[in-house]
Amino acid sequence: MPRILLIEDEAAIADTVVYALETEGFRVTWKTLGREGLALLREGGLDLAVLDVGLPDGNGFELCKQIRTFSQIPIIFLTARSEEIDRIVGLEIGADDYVTKPFSPRELAARVKAILKRSGGVAAPVVGGFEIDRERSLIRYQGQRLDLTRYEYLILALLLGRPERIFSREEIMDRVWSDPAESFDRAVDTHIKTLRAKLRAIREDEEPIRTHRGMGYSFSGAVSEA
């Protein structure tokens, strides 16, 4: 039974979310403060976190940054802020999805299920310079573990699985996002940008992700066996 952490200070919203998720078979632990949720996450044993952006003891975006220093657990933001820039910021710092209040608890439950279903990763071979651990959903580059968000991992694994094959933005969204219709045009570009920055931090002289103007993206590299 997957275990979900909910960090939400409004009791009415939390009660509704807990009921919706538990009805779908999840075990839910509810915390009202970010520091309480952070302590629980450090203990491990959780499968997904749902975070309110506005918390009494801090900002959900900052909490997400702290979580990403030690965990790649899938994260969904709950927020009353619907501006695109806030959604982009949330994704860039490591969130996997973004739900704007007011929202349907059943829709949230469906998104949780979709993310957990995809969390096993995308099948891909070992590629020169890259090592993919599908069981733990992580990728190493030049022997160093990449600190990737869920979508960054899935996008990179998709590209590595078909070297030189060009994937359009629409294909990437269809294969990676739990609900492509709910995403937005810049989502793929935003994640590619952060991926490239993380790869350059390890090897400045290489650019394994290639942009094909008007077409999409591909991985440029040779395939080797593990």
User: pLDDT of the chain along its 226 residues, tens only?
Assistant: 689 999 999 999 999 999 989 988 899 999 999 999 999 888 877 889 999 988 999 888 889 888 888 888 899 988 876 655 566 666 677 788 888 877 888 888 988 988 887 764 333 344 557 877 665 677 888 778 899 988 898 899 888 877 788 999 888 888 888 665 555 667 899 999 999 999 999 888 888 999 998 899 998 864 333 3
- Cβ neighbors of 33 (< 8 A, separation 6 or more) are 7, 9, 55, 56, 57
Alpha-carbon span 119 to 138, nearest angstrom: 11
The helices-and-strands tally (H runs, E runs) of the chain is 8, 12
Instruction: Decide if domain 130-219 falls under CATH 1.10.10.10.
Output: yes
List the structure tokens of 98.
Answer: 């973004």
CA distances from 113 to 66, 108, 110, 116 (A): 24, 9, 5, 5
Q: Where in the chain is the domain with CATH 3.40.50.2300?
A: 3-118
Strands 27-31 and 3-7, by their bridges, are parallel
Burial of 210 (0-12, 13-18, 19+ CB in 10 A): middle
CATH architecture of 3-118: 3-Layer(aba) Sandwich (3.40)
- Cβ neighbors of 123 (< 8 A, separation 6 or more) are 134, 157, 161
Alpha-carbon span 101 to 81, nearest angstrom: 8
- Cβ neighbors of 173 (< 8 A, separation 6 or more) are 180, 183, 187, 188
Q: Where in the chain is the domain with CATH 1.10.10.10?
A: 130-219
Indicate the pTM of the whole model. 0.54
